[in-house]
Structure formats: C-alpha cells, structure tokens
Amino acid sequence: MPRKSRYQPNVSDFLALCGRNYGYMMKWLPLNISLGQSWVLEGEFGVLQLRMIENTKYTQLVEIARPVDIIDFVNIPKVLVRIYHDAKLAEVLTGQQIYQLRPVYDYPNPRMYHSDEKYQVNAFLEELLKIGCQHRLVRHP
C-alpha cells in the first residue's frame, strides 16, 4: 500500500489569502479606533461584531464575531485576528476552540483538525470579511 506523503503548506497561497484578508479589513477598519472600542458592521449578508483588543504602531489585534439567531444550538463564530500593517497581512491567531493555530497538524489527531487547519481558518475569515464589504458602520460606545 503506498504511503501518503506528509502535507506541505503552500506559503504563497497562505500569504495571498492573508493579503486579501488585509485588503477586506482596510475597507472598513476605522482609522481612529481606541483600545477596547467595539463597533458593528451591518452588511447585505449579515452582521459582524468587532472589538479592538490591541493597537500598536505596526499591528492591531481585532476580535471578530458573527452573531447567529440560533444561539441555543450554535456557538457564535469568533476569531482573533492580528493585522500586520507593515506587511499588509491579516492572520487568524485563534479560532472558536483553537487557542493557538499551528502551521501543520498530523492527521489523524486527537482533536481531528485538518492538516491545513490554519489555512482553513483563514479562509473562513475571508468569508466572514466579505460580509463587511458592502456595509453600514454602526458604532457602539
């Protein structure tokens, strides 16, 4: 039986994805945002709730949540995103139940993460960010 080769991440595809996510975020990220401040984006396809966790000269840390109406059955999708302004990239640091994403996971693994879980979570972020592209910004104090 032929042995399956180990997954090798495609760094170019991953950086392109993080670059697209950065572009989406820059379309609606407020310029003068304070630490801890929250805001909401209402788009054609739903609502995003955002909160600024960390704000430094070259990076920002933003929590993005997508509220759903059936909270009793589904956890609110939520990601923590690091925005690198010098590199023009936005990368998911943590997901719903993943506290630190690794570049590659062995498969199978106890938590049943995909081999390319980091790429998959960042692709999920891209889908979330598309909600905010056609948006109306609603600020909360």
Q: Which two tokens stand for residue 60?
A: 């920002």
Using one digit for the tens of pLDDT, what is the confidence trace for 77-102? Answer: 788 999 999 999 999 988 665 666 66
Among 125, 34, 44, 120, which residue's Cα sits nearest to residue 78?
125
Chain mean position to CA 37: 18
Query: pTM of the prediction?
Result: 0.78
CB neighbour class for 79 (10 Å; exposed up to 12, middle 13-18, buried from 19)? buried
How does pLDDT run across 28-71, given as a tens digit for each residue? 888 788 888 888 888 777 788 899 999 998 999 999 988 877 66
